[in-house]
């Protein structure tokens, strides 16, 4: 089943998402029917939500979320939830916050 979740881009990260901080979206099923994980969401964001390809490197580095971006799964540090292997559930709130912008 596809999952419906909320995604937030904070700490200035919204600039690469047409200045839209909050998004509701549905991640489609994987072709091989495997569970939908956070990695699938990241791919979905890169393929469907970043309009300017040059901006991808603001979000991704070496195939994962760029160091300096804080990723929270329902307000919990993603490091405690298995990082990009976390299995998404309906109603999850995933937030990405840049920690790098000016103090």
Catalog residues that contact other proteins under the rule CB under 8 A.
10-12, 15, 62, 67-68, 70, 72, 74-77, 79-80, 95, 97-103
Nearer to other proteins, 40 or 95 (CB): 95
Dist CA 79 CA 86 (whole Å): 10
Classify the C-alpha dihedral 75-27-67-59 as positive or negative: negative
Measured from the CB of residue 31, what is the shortest distance to other proteins in angstroms?
Answer: 26
Measured from the CB of residue 13, what is the shortest distance to other proteins in angstroms?
Answer: 8
In the chain, helix, strand, coil percent, each to 5? 30, 30, 40
Tokens 């979000």 -> residue = 59
Measured from the CB of residue 41, what is the shortest distance to other proteins in angstroms?
Answer: 19
Nearer to other proteins, 27 or 58 (CB): 58
Nearer to other proteins, 33 or 63 (CB): 63
Nearer to other proteins, 30 or 80 (CB): 80
Contacts of 26 (CB under 8 A, 6+ apart): 2, 3, 4, 5
């Amino acid at each position: 089943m596809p999952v419906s979740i909320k995604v937030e881009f904070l700490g200035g990260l919204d600039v690469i998402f047409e200045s839209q901080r909050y998004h509701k979206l549905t991640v489609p099923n994987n072709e091989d029917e495997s569970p939908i994980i956070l990695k699938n969401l990241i791919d979905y964001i890169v393929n469907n939500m970043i309009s300017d390809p040059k901006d991808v490197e603001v979000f991704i580095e070496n195939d994962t979320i760029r160091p300096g971006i804080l990723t929270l799964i329902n307000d919990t540090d993603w490091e405690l939830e298995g990082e990009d292997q976390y299995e998404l559930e309906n109603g999850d709130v995933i937030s990405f916050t840049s920690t790098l912008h000016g103090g």
